Each structure stands twice: as structure tokens, then as C-alpha cells.
Amino acid sequence: MKRGKYVLIIILIFVALFLAAFFSFIYFEFGRPPSVKARSYLEIRLSGEIQEQAPRDFWAGMFGQAPPLSLHDIWMNIKKAKIDNRIKAIVLRFGYIQCDWAKVNEIRESILDFKKSGKKVYAYIDESVEFDKQYFLATACDRIILHPLGVFIINGIGGHVPFFKNSLNKLGIEAEIEHVEEYKTAYNMFTEDRFTPAHRRMMRSLYEDLFSHYIKALAEAREKSEEEIKALIDHGFFQGERALDAGLVDDLLFEDEFEDLLKEKEKKLSKITHGQYLKIDPSSLGLNRGKKIALIYGMGAIHTGEGFYQSMGSTTTARWIRRARKDKSIAAVVFRVDSGGGSAVASDVIWREVALAKKVKPFVVSMSDVAGSGGYWVSMAAHKIVAQPQTLTGSIGVISGKFNLIKLYEKLGITAEKLTYGKKADLFSTYKKLTREERDFLKKEILWVYDKFLTKVAEGRNLSKEEVDKIGKGRVWTGSQAKERGLVDELGGLSRALELAKELAGIPIDEEVRLVVRPRKISFFDSFFGRRLVKMDLDLDPGLERMFSAFMFLNKEKILAIMPLWYGPE
């Protein structure tokens, strides 16, 4: 009886939680939008992971927490605030941002555009940890305020790229990988114990270009020379008054003093949070009206089949593009890509739909943090490609292989009997080592795929195959480097991509358009279950999690157009 009573109590608790989340969802989706007072400021708390699109986290809403950060939401809220006469300023409150440099630059550009309205932007920092990306964004603000005892750290970009070959050897695991060509380093972490010359050359080039953009932006924003900025970064650590004396921040204020500063500079303002302001319909401010442009998001690893939260399934993405192509009310398509690639076949399925859509209406790609390998494959047929200077792209190359676990099986006492029908039936088996003939066969197959990749890049970018091969071979480029080599048309963000789409569709640049966004808002089911079903939180070191993910991905998809898992500086 007691056991049955406990089971009933547990069931009732789960039902109560489910109903609470459900009614939170109903309120968030259909509840009355908040009233914005005549004199308000928009507060955006920048902390945690920033994704292109994020699901509604109803649990967070139920417990009064900020919603998950989505770049699309931040971008739209800043656009709204710029023209909303009730919003007099923006306050950015900084924590530790988890995204790469292109997304940070996208937000920075939005802030700079907002300031054209004559309104002010304030950055408030309690303290910083690995703060270079955050500070890069903060320098777009009119004033940077630090807590008087705040530890302020800007110490440059870079880090360590781990290699697991020796560890795998100890475990009895051997990675047998074939790749095209020397810069295709996606699985070097398993096959090498250090940088190859090509790998080092590529990584140094990426770091140096990103660091250069960072230094120039800081020097311009803080009115210092690049040498002065480099010297401050070399010093690295500042606390309170030292940060102020160095000219890195403008004020040292406690929370209440910061509120007083706002009252002094902006008169009396009421606060509206980022989450609250999301409920303000853009059309109520004159935005998101007029002719339709499809805005399709392609996020995460590319794989065959239906997509799910933070992955680019070829069936799902192709269907969205095909529907936009056939919908006569849609004037143009903008494809927002944030992917390091994946399955070559899945990438080609999406490429095909892009090529077909291009024949019917303007098609523009906007690249986010990363759009390389398969992420470049799905982009290359577009009329125009727009990337941030810090976007990581290119990586035109192919990889295939497997892990053989023979020695691991021996250590574990696992034995196996071979029973195959077909000469290559056990080609990808973990119970055998590839023969020289089999490795040659794999190399030949991926060279064939690489040739198709080169051909399609050449056609899409109006280059010769020889020119593409020179900048291909698996090499990753920053957006600015890619533009110099003809892989990208313009540098900029989503706003610039939309301008180009309007221009190609014959829509005046200053005319508003209605965005038809795909995927639509993440469903209640996906929000409630999706993150728990598709994201395995192994609670491991990030390097080990990536290694595990790489192992599982290679086991599922055999011919890959994928970028290195450590593809960008922190």
C-alpha cells in the first residue's frame, strides 16, 4: 500500500509540473503583451549560450528566469527598439557568452545601427571571465560601467587544440581516416599527436585574422592605437580602478549607482526586459510588413532525414526551401547557415533545392559563426553569399574512415567470428583493420566526391575548378579571407543579406518586408522534450564530449563534408 501511495504521489507531481509548463506555454504564446511605458529602456542580459534560434524554455519562464538567448530574437528586439519612441536606451548586462565571434559581431553591428537613432547604449559588467568576446561587443556601447571591485580580464584569443591519438592507442582504438586533402583536419585529433604543418598553417592564419579584427575594433572604439591595445591585452588582468585608469571602462559603479546614472542621463526610465519585449509584435511598430521574404534557418550538423532541434536534416530543410520556391507570394529567400557540415549526401540534397530555387527567385545566404564544408556546400549555389569577417567557412574537402577497436576488444576479452557475403561487407567493421587495398578504395571514393564538390563550387562561384582546388583541399578561411578568394560576395550580417535579397527582388531598400521564418517557433513538444531527447549532456570535459560526438557521427555517416571540431579560437 505504501509503495502504491508513493507512486501515486510521484505521478501527481509530474502531472502538476506538466500542467504548470503547459499553462506557462499558453500564457507566453497567447497572453496579453506587456505595456511599454512612455519612457523605458530595454535591458538585455547577455549570458550563456547564444543560438541562432532557441526554444521557449517554459520552465525558465515559470520560475521567473530569462528566456534562452536567440540571435534572431536579439536582432529583432534591437530593430524594434530603434524605431520604438517609447524605448529611450538599451542596457546590456554582461555575463559569460557562449558563441563564436561572428554572432558577437552580428549583435555588435545591431547595436551600432541602433545608435544611429540617437539613443544611448550602456554596458554594465559585474566582473569578467574570459571576457574578450564580451568586451568586443561592449565597445560598441556609449558607456562601459564596471563594478568597483570587478575583475576585468581581456587576455587575447587562442587556446589549446587537443590530440587523442596516444590516449586512443592506450585504449586499443585506432582511427583509420582518409581525407582530401592536407587541410582537411577534422579527425586529426584522432590520427595525430600534434599539428601537421598544414594544420598549424591554417590555424595560425585563422587566429591571426580574427585577432587583427579584434584589435582594430577595440582601437577605434576606445580611441587608442593598436599597439596600446595589444599592450593592454598582454597585461591581461585589470581590477576596478586599474581598468578605469587604462581607459578600458568609463565608470566604476555599484548597481544602485548605475541606476542613478541612468536617471541622470536619461531622466526617469522604466525597465522592460528582453523577454517581455519579445512579446511586442514587430508589426505594431511598422516592421515585418509588406512583401514576403522567406528566412530559413539551417543550424547544426547536416544529416539525412528529418531535422530536429539544432540539427539540419536534409529532408526538412529541403522541404522548407522547396515550399518557398513554389510559393508565389514569397519574393526572395534568405538562407541563414550556421553549420560545420556533416553528411555529403545530405548536403547535396539541400544544395539541389537551393539551385532550383535560385532559378525562380532571388536566393541569398547569410553565414553565421560557421558555414564550412557541408555548410559551404549548401550555400554555394546562392545568388549572393554574405558572411561576417569572423565567420569560419570554406573547408572544401571530404573525409571518410572508421575506428578499429581490435585491441580494445582483446583487452575486454571480446571475440568475434567473421561471416560475410560480399568482398567489402565488413569494410567499416570495428573488428578489422583496413587493408591497403581498402584504404586506396576509400581514397578513390572521396576523391570522386571531392571532384563533384569542386565542380559545383566552380559553377556557383564562377571560378575554374583549378582555382577552387587551390583554395580548397579542406582549408578553413575566415569570412574576410573567403571574400578575398571569391568564396563570399560581401561582409555583413543578416540585415545586409536582407538588403541584398530586396535589391535582387526589386524591392526598395527602405521598404519593410514580412519575414516568413522557418522553422516556426519551436513547438511545445520540442520545448518540453526536445532538448532532453536530442542533447546528450554527458557532463564530460568539452574535448571528450566532442570526441564522443565525432565517434558517433562517423559511425552513422560514412562520407563526410565536415569541419574540424576545434575550428575556431575561443
The pLDDT tens digits of the residues spanning 26-53 come to 455 545 678 899 999 999 999 999 999 8
pLDDT score, position 11: 72
pLDDT value at residue 569: 46
Q: Is residue 9 part of a domain?
A: no
Residue 273, domain CATH: 3.90.226.10
342 shares a domain with 250: no
570, part of any domain: no
- Residues 413 and 305 occupy one common structural domain: yes
382 and 469 co-located in one domain? yes
The yes-or-no verdict on residue 320 having pLDDT over 70 is yes
Query: Of residues 156 and 58, which shows the higher confidence score?
Result: 156
* Residue 499 · residue 505 · CB < 8 Å: no
User: What are the pLDDT digits (tens) for 535-544?
Assistant: 433 344 445 5
Same domain flag for 39 and 105: yes
Last residue of a domain, one of 283, 311, 342: 283
pLDDT for residue 354 is more than 50: yes
Q: How far apart are the first and last CA of the chain?
A: 57
Q: Is the pLDDT of residue 348 over 50?
A: yes
Could you give the C-alpha distances from 337 to 13, 249, 442, in angstroms and in order?
41, 35, 29
Q: Is residue 179 situated within a structural domain?
A: no
Residue 110 region by backbone torsions, left for phi larger than 0, else alpha for psi between -120 and 50, else beta:
alpha
178 belongs to a structural domain: no
447, part of any domain: yes
Residue-level pLDDT at 359: 97
The x, y and z cell numbers of residue 542, run together, are 568539452
Give me 282's grid cell. 514587430
563-to-68, 152, 301, 343 alpha-carbon distances in Å = 27, 33, 10, 11
Q: For 440-456, how does the pLDDT look when each residue is reduced to its tens digit (9 = 90+)?
A: 999 999 999 999 999 99
Of 193-202, 224-233, 447-456, 514-523, the least confident = 514-523
For the annotated catalytic residues, the residue numbers are 373
Residues 250 and 293 placed together within one structural domain of the fold: no
Whether residue 354 is found in the same domain as residue 491: yes
Q: Same structural domain for residues 245 and 322?
A: no
Short-list 113, 132, 123, CA closest to 92: 123
The length of the chain in residues reads 570
Residue 532 has pLDDT above 50, yes or no: no
* Range of weakest confidence among 74-78, 248-252, 456-460, 520-524: 520-524
Evaluate whether 489 touches 266 at the Cβ level (below 8 Å).
no
Looking at 223-343, list the stretches that DSSP marks H as alpha helix, in order from N- to C-terminal side.
Answer: 226-235, 241-245, 255-266, 274-277, 314-326
Residue 163, helix vs strand vs coil: coil
* Any domain includes 304: yes
> In the listed set 283, 313, 342, which residue is the last one of a domain according to the structure?
283
The residue out of 218, 248, 283 marking a domain boundary is 283
Q: Are 366 and 398 in contact (CB under 8 A)?
A: no
Q: Are residues 313 and 255 in the same domain?
A: no
In a domain, 148, yes or no: yes
Domain count, the chain: 2
pLDDT tens track for 243-261: 999 999 999 999 999 999 8
Confidence of residue 17 (pLDDT cuts 50, 70, 90): low
Q: What is the pLDDT of residue 397?
A: 94
If one compares 59 and 206, the residue with the highest pLDDT of the two is 206
Phi/psi class of residue 421: alpha, beta or left (left: φ > 0; alpha: ψ in -120 to 50)?
beta
| Residue 567 confidence (pLDDT) above 60 | no
pTM of the model: 0.90
Residues 264 and 124 in one domain: yes
Mean pLDDT (the chain, rounded): 88
Task: State the pLDDT at residue 429.
Answer: 92
Choice between 60 and 336, residue whose per-residue pLDDT is larger: 336
pLDDT, tens only, 111-132: 999 999 999 999 999 876 668 9
What confidence category does residue 159 fall into, taking pLDDT thresholds of 50, 70 and 90?
confident
- Supply 257's cell numbers: 549607482
276 and 299 both lie in a single domain: no
Strand ranges, E, within 308-418? 311-313, 330-339, 341-343, 363-372, 384-387, 392-394, 398-404
pLDDT band at 568 (very low <50, low <70, confident <90, very high): very low
Please check whether residue 480 is in contact with residue 388, taking contact to mean a CB–CB distance below 8 angstroms.
no
Question: How far apart, in Å, are the Cα atoms of 26 and each of 49, 64, 308?
Answer: 25, 16, 23
- Say if residue 491's pLDDT is above 90: yes
How far apart CA 29 and CA 24 sit, in angstroms, is 9
User: Which domain does 442 fall in, by range?
Assistant: 289-421+430-562
- 542 and 510 in a single domain? The answer is yes
Of residues 81, 63, 10, the one with CA closest to residue 277: 81
In contact, 482 and 464? CB cutoff 8 Å: no
Give per-residue pLDDT as tens, 359-406: 999 999 999 999 999 999 999 999 999 999 999 999 999 999 899 999
Percent of the chain's residues with pLDDT above 70: 84
For the residues of 356-386, what is the DSSP string, one character each? HHHHHS-EEEEEEEEEETHHHHTTTTSSEEE
Note whether 261 and 360 are same-domain residues: no
548 confidence band (pLDDT: 50, 70, 90): low
What pLDDT does 309 receive? Answer: 77
434 vs 6 pLDDT, higher one? 434
pLDDT computed for residue 531 by the predictor = 43
What is the model's pLDDT at position 561? Answer: 74
Task: Determine, yes or no, domain membership for 190.
Answer: no
